[in-house]
Amino acid sequence: MYVAVKGGEKAIAAAHKLLAEERRGDSAIPAISTAQISEQLSLGVDRVMNEGTLYDREWAALAIKQARGDLIEAIFLLRAARTTLSRFGYCEPLDTSAIQAKRRISAAFKDIPGGQVLGPTFDYSHRLLEFELDAPPPAEVAAAAEAVAMPRVLELLGHEGLIEPASASDAAPGDLTEDPLEFPASRDLRLQNLARGDEGYLLALAYSTQRGYGRSHPFAGEIRHGHVEVSFIPEELGFAVTIGEIAITECEMINQFKGSGGVPPQFTRGYGLVFGQCERKAMSMALLDRSLRAGELGEERVAPAQDEEFVLSHSDNVQATGFVEHLKLPHYVDFQSELQLIRRLRKGGEKP
């Protein structure tokens, strides 16, 4: 039972003023601009856009600044900002084959048409603190950089029939922002849920599948990062127009499958798609997409990562933080009743 608590306005206002001062920090040190956050803490901005489910770099940067770098608080702020806007409509599905690739790798095939490009990556770095970080040398520039086609790596397997085809359906996908999630959830809704889910949570669950809690035997078939154009059909025009471009990362995992019934042994797919360069999350999402397909592929559900109700019900960190953190708000009346109950029980004899 919740009972309203009145009063405290003066203290709350003072607490928020103190918060503002603490947020600013030492006034002798220059304040950071949202442009600096957007440019120099860009992966933090990417994460806030993903879990805030809104692609808007400037707003995400402002949210990070306002939240003093607390990304979950920033995600909450971005979600709240989103609710102030109306929906114009649905875009055409992104054509990620037309990506302006900044990074493209495969851990399954060494030689792939179009080649492997590492792009801006922490991979293979020594993880040593760099004390001269602020004066980087300029990036190298390749002499010949003619546009090369980058066919999909999983299609190489597809030509031989060694991997299942990508799921094909023309049905309009469901939308969690319009209708609440119900179980069993279809794959489109599971992917939407995972795309907005907490990166740490997805990472931990994906890790659990590798440690034996639900077997998936994955290979990173292909990871791509770069910009893709966004196409939209305004009702006033009736034809598709490019309305901008966004940065994305997609991950296609290749997983084992023994075959079942009339289906011969073949590889199966797990897919991850996120805003920006949240590669860890795209990979985790692909692992979980595959583990949650257990039912569809006739696999026994034995591990947490295969339990869609468990996975999908706890992935949203705005919901999670709301429920966990509400415990710190006044519960005085609830607690008094529990306290009285314990006292009566300890006196003995009296029925509660």
Partner 1 sequence: MTEIAATQAQRRAALARLFALADWTLARELTEPFAGTAHHVVRGPETGLVMLRGRMGSTGAAFNFGEATATRCSVRLADKTEGHAYVLGRNGELARRMALCDALLQQPEADMAAFDKIAQQMDEAIAARRSAQAAKVAATKVDFFTVVRGDG
Q: Does residue 34 contact residue 69 with C-beta atoms inside 8 Å?
A: no
Range in contact with partner 1 (rule: CB under 8 A) among 22-30, 110-118, 258-266, 312-320? 110-118
DSSP-derived letter for residue 267 is: B
39 binds partner 1 (CB under 8 A): no
Burial of 93 (0-12, 13-18, 19+ CB in 10 A): exposed
Q: Does residue 20 contact residue 65 with C-beta atoms inside 8 Å?
A: no
154 binds partner 1 (CB under 8 A): yes
* CB 32 to partner 1: min, Å: 21
Q: Which of 53, 209, 216, 284 binds partner 1 (CB under 8 A)?
A: 53
245 binds partner 1 (CB under 8 A): yes
Q: Which of 66, 70, 117, 297 binds partner 1 (CB under 8 A)?
A: 117
Q: Which is nearer to partner 1, 30 or 93 (CB)?
A: 93
Q: Which of 246, 314, 320, 321 binds partner 1 (CB under 8 A)?
A: 246
Give the contacts of 275 (CB within 8 A, at least 6 positions apart): 46, 49, 50, 55, 246, 247, 248
Range in contact with partner 1 (rule: CB under 8 A) among 21-29, 93-101, 206-214, 324-332? 93-101
Range in contact with partner 1 (rule: CB under 8 A) among 47-55, 62-70, 126-134, 327-335? 47-55
* CB 72 to partner 1: min, Å: 17
C-alpha 89/C-alpha 233 separation (Å) is: 9
170 binds partner 1 (CB under 8 A): yes
46 binds partner 1 (CB under 8 A): no
* CB 210 to partner 1: min, Å: 21
- Joined together, the tokens standing for residue 97 give 């084959």
260 binds partner 1 (CB under 8 A): no
Residues 73-92, interacting with partner 1 (CB under 8 A): 82, 85-92
C-alpha 195/C-alpha 274 separation (Å) is: 6
Q: Please give the helix or strand (H or E) that residue 219 lies within, else none.
A: strand 219-232
Residue 8 vs residues 19, 139, 160, 301, 328: alpha-carbon distances, Å: 16, 55, 70, 50, 15
3-state secondary structure of 306: helix
Q: Which of 61, 74, 76, 103 binds partner 1 (CB under 8 A)?
A: 103
351 binds partner 1 (CB under 8 A): no
Q: Which is nearer to partner 1, 70 or 229 (CB)?
A: 229
115 binds partner 1 (CB under 8 A): yes
Please work out, in degrees rounded to the nearest 5, the angle formed at the alpha carbon of residue 251 by the alpha carbons of 91 and 102: 80
Q: Which residues pair with 251 in a beta bridge?
A: 223, 272
C-alpha 210/C-alpha 253 separation (Å) is: 13
184 binds partner 1 (CB under 8 A): no
* CB 95 to partner 1: min, Å: 8
